[in-house]
């Protein structure tokens, strides 16, 4: 019977290396669950796992999307489950790793997602208060904050597309049996790693990579850390120094959000303390605990 291991960890925690070494040990294959790693043409800024780093381990759902291609969490759920089912059928162990927790949830839990559930109406003529009132009428138990316009709009679109007033119900039943591991790294160490990683990205040519893509005007690039800040620099809105500091800061903030979200969403997590001087120990710990 194949095992499913979910390797959680903040950006910069070292998931990639651990996942590949673990895959070798478990004879497993890897499904990527990081939204930005799915895109082609961005590599330095997203720390895309290179072919060399993969070291012969089969990876799925990585480096396959065009930057202007639409791909929703619904698509991911579908594609991911197909792959997962095939691997299970063939008795192959699988490791799921990546920073997009919501994608992992949608993949492994009973999330009812509907195809083509697009945001058709932005409700630009309504104030936050008016939007909130509309949402309250449809579902008085919703916990969406008045100021969270993006979520309010999404709720209303969702309702009109599906007729469902979804509020976080029935989403915590797992469909697949999986073990969750969280690479626990002390805040100060993680932040140092993040800061030096950004410096390394710059030294490895991130500016050139970003500039090339900047000229092609892909909209997603204004949402991806590393590219959105450099875009501001290319537009002469900030200096290079400011852009670099912003990249570091935004990455740290993202890591912080990941931490709260992982801990909040996945209740059966096993925490693994990471010692960077001895990563083999971590791999061994996970390996033994997964048997």
Partner RNA sequence: GGAGCCGUAGCCAAGCGGUAAGGCAUAGGUCUGCAACACCUUGAUCGCCGGUUCAAAUCCGGCCGGCUCCU
CB of 174 to RNA, least distance (A): 14
CB of 24 to RNA, least distance (A): 23
Nearer to RNA, 46 or 272 (CB): 46
Question: Angle 126-132-135 (CA atoms, 0-180°, nearest 5)?
Answer: 105
d(CA 11, CA 255): 6
Q: Give the ranges where 99-239 is alpha helix by DSSP (H).
A: 101-108, 128-138, 149-162, 187-203, 206-214, 227-234
CB of 167 to RNA, least distance (A): 6
Radius of gyration of the chain (CA): 20
Pairing, β 4-8 against β 179-184: parallel
Nearer to RNA, 212 or 289 (CB): 212
Nearer to RNA, 66 or 278 (CB): 66
CB of 241 to RNA, least distance (A): 14
What burial letters (b/e) apply to 24-34, b meaning 16+ CB within 10 Å? Answer: eebebbbbbbb
CB of 154 to RNA, least distance (A): 5
Residues lying near RNA in the complex (CB under 7 A): 11, 34-37, 45-47, 72-74, 99-103, 111-117, 119, 143, 145, 147-151, 154-155, 158, 162, 166-171, 187, 223-226, 249-254, 256-257, 259-261, 263-264
């Amino acid at each position: 019977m194949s095992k499913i291991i979910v390797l959680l960890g903040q950006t910069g925690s070292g998931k990639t290396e651990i996942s590949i070494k673990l895959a070798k040990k478990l004879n497993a294959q890897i499904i990527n669950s990081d939204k930005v790693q799915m895109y082609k043409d961005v590599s330095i800024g997203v720390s895309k796992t290179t072919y060399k780093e993969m070291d012969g381990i089969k990876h799925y759902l990585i480096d396959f999307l065009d930057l202007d291609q639409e791909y929703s969490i619904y698509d991911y759920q579908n594609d991911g489950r197909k792959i997962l089912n095939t691997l299970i059928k063939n008795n192959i162990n699988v490791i799921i790793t990546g920073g997009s927790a919501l994608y992992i949830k949608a993949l492994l839990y009973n999330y009812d997602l509907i195809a083509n559930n697009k945001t058709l109406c932005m409700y630009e003529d309504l104030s936050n208060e008016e939007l909130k009132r509309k949402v309250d009428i449809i579902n008085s138990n919703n916990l969406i904050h008045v100021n969270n316009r993006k979520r309010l709009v999404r709720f209303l679109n969702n309702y009109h597309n599906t007729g469902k007033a979804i509020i976080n119900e029935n989403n915590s039943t797992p469909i697949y049996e999986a073990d969750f591991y969280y690479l626990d790294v002390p805040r100060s160490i993680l932040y140092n790693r993040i800061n030096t990683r950004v410096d390394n990205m710059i030294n490895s040519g991130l500016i050139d990579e970003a500039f090339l893509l900047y000229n092609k005007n892909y909209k997603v690039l204004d949402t991806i850390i590393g590219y959105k800040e450099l875009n501001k620099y290319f537009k002469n809105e900030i200096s290079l120094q400011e852009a670099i500091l912003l990249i570091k800061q935004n990455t740290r903030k993202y890591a912080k959000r990941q931490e709260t979200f992982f801990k909040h969403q996945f209740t059966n997590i096993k925490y693994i303390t990471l010692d960077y001087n001895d990563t083999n120990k971590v791999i061994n710990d996970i390996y033994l605990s997964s048997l």
